[in-house]
């Protein structure tokens, strides 16, 4: 069975253009023209992935994302017209899995959808051991519950923020380049938009505050020090 993609986009030419590319890539496609229809189709047609435009005529795309997330883990790729929205999208505590800025190359959209779905399938099949827990200083990260606490207080991280923190903690003492992080956390196999990594690190620092263990290695990437601070 072909995987089903729900495209949420009010601009008809973009919706049909994206739809054509996805059908050529052998996906099933559903289209929703506004937020209300998106919520209904997300519920009724059980898509494997949602491509969600930020600017919709009725309900804001961010609100649609939040509402879908409240009942489903379906991967969501947001489309946005303005660079300024990126912080808002990745900062969402119920975050989207990925985003693309318009105008985008439809081949890149298809490539990202493939990698998101591949990762989703891998997680379903193998997943991380549910008991996997890592601690670093005051931070405790639980892969099974997908929960992060700082000194026992829970911190809400978006899915990619969680995965990024996990990846860095899992390689503590090692420097990971932005491209390595893109590949490991986002599944890109090409050199992508590394600003995504920087924006997510910024969000981690904002949310974890002084306890954020992620250090910038100038000109290279990011790392978590070997030794946790004594708390
Ligand atoms: Ca739109």
pLDDT block averages, 10 residues each, the chain of length 231: 94 93 95 96 95 92 88 88 63 66 85 82 57 85 89 91 91 86 79 82 93 89 79 53
15 CA → ligand 1 middle, Å = 9
Phi then psi for residue 124, to 5 deg, are: -65, -40
CA 66 to chain centre: 13
104 CA → ligand 1 middle, Å = 14
pLDDT at 44: 95
111 CA → ligand 1 middle, Å = 21
27 CA → ligand 1 middle, Å = 22
Mind listing the domains of the chain with CATH numbers? Answer: 4-126 (3.40.50.2300), 133-220 (1.10.10.10)
31 CA → ligand 1 middle, Å = 13
52 CA → ligand 1 middle, Å = 9
Read off the pTM.
0.61
DSSP for the chain reads ---EEEEE-S-HHHHHHHHHHHHHTT-EEEEESSHHHHHHHHHHS--SEEEEES--SSS-HHHHHHHHHHH----EEEEES-TTHHHHHHH-TT--SEEEESS--HHHHHHHHHHHHHHHHHHHHT---TT-EEEETTEEEETTTTEEEETTEEE---HHHHHHHHHHHHTTTS-EEHHHHIIIII--SS---THHHHHHHHHHHHHHGGG--EEEETTTEEEE-SSPPP-
1 CA → ligand 1 middle, Å = 29
Bridge partners of 211, per DSSP, are: none
Cβ pair 4, 74 in contact under 8 A: no
Cβ pair 95, 207 in contact under 8 A: no
69 CA → ligand 1 middle, Å = 20
Inter-axis angle of helices 159-170 and 195-208, nearest 10: 90
98 CA → ligand 1 middle, Å = 17
95 CA → ligand 1 middle, Å = 19
For the CA atoms of 182, 218, 216, 160, the dihedral, rounded to the nearest 10 degrees, stands at: -10
Cβ pair 153, 140 in contact under 8 A: no
18 CA → ligand 1 middle, Å = 13
pLDDT at 92: 53
pLDDT at 98: 79
49 CA → ligand 1 middle, Å = 18
164 CA → ligand 1 middle, Å = 29
pLDDT at 130: 47
CA distance 42 to 106: 22
């Amino acid at each position: 069975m072909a995987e089903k993609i729900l495209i949420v986009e009010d601009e008809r030419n973009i919706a049909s253009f994206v739809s054509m590319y996805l059908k050529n890539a052998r996906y099933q496609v559903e289209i929703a023209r506004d937020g209300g229809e998106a919520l209904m189709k997300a519920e009724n047609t059980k898509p494997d992935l949602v491509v969600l435009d930020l600017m919709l005529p009725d309900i804001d795309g961010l609100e649609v994302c939040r509402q879908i997330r409240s009942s489903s883990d379906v991967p969501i790729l947001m489309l946005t017209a303005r660079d300024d929205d990126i912080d808002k999208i990745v900062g969402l505590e119920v975050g989207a899995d990925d985003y693309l800025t318009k105008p985008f190359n439809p081949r890149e959209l298809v490539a990202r959808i493939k990698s998101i779905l591949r990762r989703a399938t891998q997680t379903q099949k193998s997943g991380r051991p549910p008991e996997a827990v890592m601690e670093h200083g005051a931070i405790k990260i639980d892969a099974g519950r997908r929960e992060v606490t700082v000194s026992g207080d829970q911190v809400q991280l978006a899915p990619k923020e969680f995965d990024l923190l996990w990846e860095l903690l899992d390689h503590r003492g090692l420097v990971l380049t932005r491209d390595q992080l893109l590949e490991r956390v986002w599944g890109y196999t090409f050199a992508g938009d590394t600003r995504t990594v920087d924006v997510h690190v910024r969000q981690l620092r904002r949310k974890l505050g002084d306890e954020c263990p992620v250090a910038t290695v100038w000109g290279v990437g990011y790392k978590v020090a070997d030794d946790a601070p004594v708390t």
